[in-house]
Structure 1
Amino acid sequence: MRSKDRIAYFYDGDAGSVYFGPNHPMKPHRLCMTHHLVLSYDLHKKMEIYRPHKAYPVELAQFHSTDYVEFLHRITPDTQHLFSDELAKYNLGEDCPVFDNLFEFCQIYAGGTIDAACRLNNHLCDIAINWAGGLHHAKKCEASGFCYINDLVLGILELLKCHSRVLYIDIDVHHGDGVEEAFYFTDRVMTVSFHKYGDMFFPGTGDAKEIGEREGKFYAINVPLKDGIDDSSFTRLFKTIISKVVETYQPGAIVLQCGADSLAGDRLGCFNLSIDGHAECVRFVKKFNLPLLVTGGGGYTKENVARCWAVETGVLLDTELPNEIPENDYIKYFGPDFSLKIPNGHIENLNSKSYLSTIKMQVLENLRCIQHAPSVQMQEVPPDFYIPDFNEDLQNPDERIDQHTQDKHIQRDDEYYEGDNDNDHQTDL
């Protein structure tokens, strides 16, 4: 048993400042709300807080195609009318709009997950948290489901440099299709997704019959659920399956995607989970005492997302939070009762005992097809990316830096890196 977990927490207020558009359900503002709850409960005093580096295009291209990364880098709201063919090719549009600072947003949330994986690889922490990450739908060459860059795949690729097997667990209401697809043919990553499944529900994948192929056969696990699943059914199923998965697969590290759209009352979700039920999954995974990378994901009723991820930050710190929310910059969003608890959902639970039992037996049967943890021929660990130092002397003084770039060098006053200096935020860990 580890004495006390060392926790690294990644946050950059700029990720919470972007705006997808007036009618878009994705509100990155929920990240600022989460962070201010973390601060108001003094959780930041128990963690190491880091601003992530902005992932370089070459880092993003470890998974994504170079042409897609270059397009994201180039496109702006003012120029998108010139690129109708490319917008269609890369699936940018209504669900995945082009907005101001889109590429920088991707760089920040992906940089956070890559940095989190690096710190875990270098034994600088036991648990790393990046609530801005968890964008699990993005594909190699296209955006999907509000996700542009798949930070989870990039984080897992980083962990694979030091671990022969990585377990990915997803409790978002939507199927973790982008991560599953990326590792569908390998036994070095096992993906386990608990999600609502149905023809009319995005992304339409995640049937229990999807189990992986070739070397990856039986290393993709899907737990398709129906509307209205409640805490007791969900957590019982989760614990049974994850216990067996860890025992059989013996991962070296775990990545846990905590999409909060599986909570009761979510704008796009259809489950009845309370925050306690959702957080119980986090508590359970923590008990395995394996290097753990925790990310956000979906979640579209933003005050509940903030509540949930603050509670789960507390769970990872072994700290129970008082129900009364302390005064903070976003306190008005948590009215009228200003409490962490949320009301239970009232969606009828369509998951019968026999249905859940069938799903469980199917998953356990597939796990039996894996005799034991696959042995991996360990290759030499590839080096972390060489990132050249920025040399001010070589900059052309006649090239004026635009105001936005200048602003990026100023630390936001709402981030509280207590006692940190800039050297604590370096990227090559």
Structure 2
Amino acid sequence: MHSKDRISYFYDGDVGSVYFGPNHPMKPHRLCMTHHLVLSYDLHKKMEIYRPHKAYPVELAQFHSEDYVAFLQRITPDTVHLYSNDLARYNLGEDCPVFENLFEFCQIYAGGTIDAARRLNNQLCDIAINWAGGLHHAKKCEASGFCYINDLVLGILELLKHHARVLYIDIDVHHGDGVEEAFYFTDRVMTVSFHKFGDKFFPGTGDVKEIGEREGKFYAINVPLKDGIDDASFTRLFKTVPLFYNVEQIRLLEIAWAASISPLMVHSHADCVRFVKKFNLPLLVTGGGGYTKENVARCWTVETGVLLDTELPNEIPDNEYIKYFAPEYSLKIPHSHINDNMNSKSYLGAIKVQVLENLRYIQHAPSVQMQEVPPDFYIPDFDEDEQNPDERVDQHTRDKQIQRDDEYYDGDNDNDQNMDD
């Protein structure tokens, strides 16, 4: 590991212009706000900035079923009425609406996480950040919880091409069910999820007793929490879980990370990022849930600073979205009503004991047989000579090649160029 971490940061302004619809809690606009905060604090000067490639359907089908990927590619707001049966089959509707440029949105955020994993695999960076990623609820054949394509599963599959094992840590307020389900039967991925848990809280999974099955037994770790957990309790609990086993001993050679935000948890999330960074292992950091967009932007900016070992002044510098942070204009989140902490010491103690007991079973995990590494890229073949030269690049694609005013790329932003170096 270098004395100063090399950090790759992925961003495409088009993800922030996507609109899920009126009253929908998912607001991709928070990504633009985050990016402008990152720029206003000059953090971009300490990172390599890349625009991700748009993931090809065949890349998405490394995890998702081909028919589901094809459906996402086909469906538009104008054609919804033609696919009423398929909408139900693939769970598109109120939570996961069909909106303009849905498939391109999926391609961009998934492409960012795949690119991030590839740069880590090729030792082109030590930490890779894709705040647009982290959509951890999507299943193999259906959308779920505002998530259509599970970029985390795709990123982990990339990491597994080069690394024996991956540790996936999820501190989203919701259980990371899609990722856990994808790797429930394998010991090559340990999934660790800290989340609020209850019968009426989405997705309703993530009990401490869910530990994985077959080869994956004890490789799913769930830390179910009740309402109102405070920063200090959360941080203490978080540090206990990874701390009580030796990362090298069980050969967890990568850490993939999904982070989300609630207004009360900014400090603990930043502390968790700081703690994981100390492992000095390649680190893939993504976004996740969080629906108060100015607070999400604050959190992800603070965490970007943590990853860069940079202390950020509390006063937010002037930027295009400054009015959203009124009246305080501060990076610290303004105080709001705090729910009573329903997590008693005895409850948290019992959870900790259960988790550590499960971890004890895998202290001496056997080494993993590695296969030949598959190639990173799959670019579909096409014959340029057969294409009409006037139709090779449509206007929409041509527009995308113009550098946007609200993005920042230093030098050549072709993030594929050094892959073989």
Q: TM-score, normalised by structure 2?
A: 0.96
1:326–1:391: structure 2 CA closer, same or farther, 3 Å change rule? farther
1:70–1:414: structure 2 CA closer, same or farther, 3 Å change rule? same
Match of 2:313 among 297, 309, 322: 322
**Corresponding position of 2:166:** 166
1:238–1:403: structure 2 CA closer, same or farther, 3 Å change rule? same
**Corresponding position of 1:204:** 204
Letter of the structure 2 residue corresponding to residue 173 of structure 1: V
| Conservation of the 8 A alpha-carbon contact between 2:51 and 2:413 | no
Which digits, 9 at most, give the CA deviation of each residue in 1:402-428, with x for residues without a partner?
A: 43232122121211102x225345596
**Corresponding position of 1:386:** 378
1:182–1:286: structure 2 CA closer, same or farther, 3 Å change rule? same
2:89 pairs with 1:89:
yes
Which stretch shifts more, 289-298 or 248-257?
248-257
Which digits, 9 at most, give the CA deviation of each residue in 1:376-421, with x for residues without a partner?
A: 0111111123315777665313438543232122121211102x22
2:376 pairs with 1:375:
no
Displacement of 1:347: 0.6
**Distance in 2 between residues matched to 1:381 and 1:202, nearest whole Å:** 37
Which digits, 9 at most, give the CA deviation of each residue in 1:310-329, with x for residues without a partner?
A: 00000000001000000000
**Corresponding position of 1:357:** 349
**Corresponding position of 2:333:** 342
**Distance in 1 between residues matched to 2:14 and 2:108, nearest whole Å:** 8
**Corresponding position of 2:9:** 9
| Conservation of the 8 A alpha-carbon contact between 1:173 and 1:196 | yes
Which digits, 9 at most, give the CA deviation of each residue in 1:107-164, with x for residues without a partner?
A: 0000000000000000000000000000000000000000000000000000001100
Which stretch shifts more, 107-116 or 368-377?
368-377
**Corresponding position of 2:291:** 300
2:397 pairs with 1:405:
yes
**Distance in 2 between residues matched to 1:412 and 1:245, nearest whole Å:** 46
1:285–1:400: structure 2 CA closer, same or farther, 3 Å change rule? closer
2:142 pairs with 1:142:
yes
Q: Which runs of 5+ in 2 are unaligned?
A: none
1:317–1:209: structure 2 CA closer, same or farther, 3 Å change rule? same
| Conservation of the 8 A alpha-carbon contact between 1:185 and 1:214 | yes
* Matched residue SS, 1:423: coil
Report % sequence identity.
Answer: 81
**Distance in 1 between residues matched to 2:79 and 2:61, nearest whole Å:** 23
1:13–1:144: structure 2 CA closer, same or farther, 3 Å change rule? same
| Conservation of the 8 A alpha-carbon contact between 1:259 and 1:298 | yes
Displacement of 1:28: 0.2
* Matched residue SS, 2:297: helix
Q: TM-score, normalised by structure 1?
A: 0.94
**Distance in 2 between residues matched to 1:389 and 1:68, nearest whole Å:** 22
**Distance in 2 between residues matched to 1:290 and 1:382, nearest whole Å:** 22
* Matched residue SS, 2:243: helix
**Distance in 1 between residues matched to 2:24 and 2:287, nearest whole Å:** 18
1:348–1:48: structure 2 CA closer, same or farther, 3 Å change rule? same
* Matched residue SS, 1:255: strand
**Distance in 2 between residues matched to 1:199 and 1:172, nearest whole Å:** 17
Aligned positions, number:
418
**Corresponding position of 2:119:** 119
**Corresponding position of 1:238:** 238
* Matched residue SS, 1:367: helix
| Conservation of the 8 A alpha-carbon contact between 2:59 and 2:378 | no
**Distance in 2 between residues matched to 1:24 and 1:386, nearest whole Å:** 35
**Distance in 2 between residues matched to 1:133 and 1:124, nearest whole Å:** 20
**Distance in 2 between residues matched to 1:19 and 1:230, nearest whole Å:** 32
Displacement of 1:249: 3.0
| Conservation of the 8 A alpha-carbon contact between 2:65 and 2:141 | yes
Q: Which runs of 5+ in 1 are unaligned?
A: 265-271
**Corresponding position of 2:259:** 258
**Corresponding position of 1:280:** 271
| Conservation of the 8 A alpha-carbon contact between 1:53 and 1:426 | no
1:339–1:422: structure 2 CA closer, same or farther, 3 Å change rule? closer
**Distance in 2 between residues matched to 1:322 and 1:242, nearest whole Å:** 30
1:44–1:398: structure 2 CA closer, same or farther, 3 Å change rule? closer
**Distance in 1 between residues matched to 2:390 and 2:305, nearest whole Å:** 49
**Distance in 2 between residues matched to 1:32 and 1:279, nearest whole Å:** 20
**Distance in 1 between residues matched to 2:174 and 2:271, nearest whole Å:** 19
| Conservation of the 8 A alpha-carbon contact between 1:51 and 1:425 | no
Letter of the structure 2 residue corresponding to residue 258 of structure 1: A
**Distance in 2 between residues matched to 1:334 and 1:246, nearest whole Å:** 42
* Matched residue SS, 2:364: coil
**Distance in 1 between residues matched to 2:119 and 2:360, nearest whole Å:** 34
Displacement of 1:166: 0.2
**Corresponding position of 1:290:** 281
**RMSD of equivalent CA atoms:** 1.6
**Distance in 1 between residues matched to 2:104 and 2:157, nearest whole Å:** 21
**Distance in 2 between residues matched to 1:337 and 1:211, nearest whole Å:** 44
Which stretch shifts more, 406-415 or 346-355?
406-415
After TM superposition, the structure 1 = structure 2 runs for residues 70-109 of structure 1, keeping only pairs within 5 Å, are 70-109=70-109
**Distance in 1 between residues matched to 2:53 and 2:382, nearest whole Å:** 13
Which digits, 9 at most, give the CA deviation of each residue in 1:14-49, with x for residues without a partner?
A: 011100001100000000000000000000000000
Which digits, 9 at most, give the CA deviation of each residue in 1:63-122, with x for residues without a partner?
A: 000000000000000001110000000000000000000000000000000000000000
1:79–1:245: structure 2 CA closer, same or farther, 3 Å change rule? farther
**Distance in 1 between residues matched to 2:282 and 2:269, nearest whole Å:** 20
Letter of the structure 2 residue corresponding to residue 236 of structure 1: R
2:153 pairs with 1:153:
yes
Which digits, 9 at most, give the CA deviation of each residue in 1:195-224, with x for residues without a partner?
A: 000000000000000000000000000000
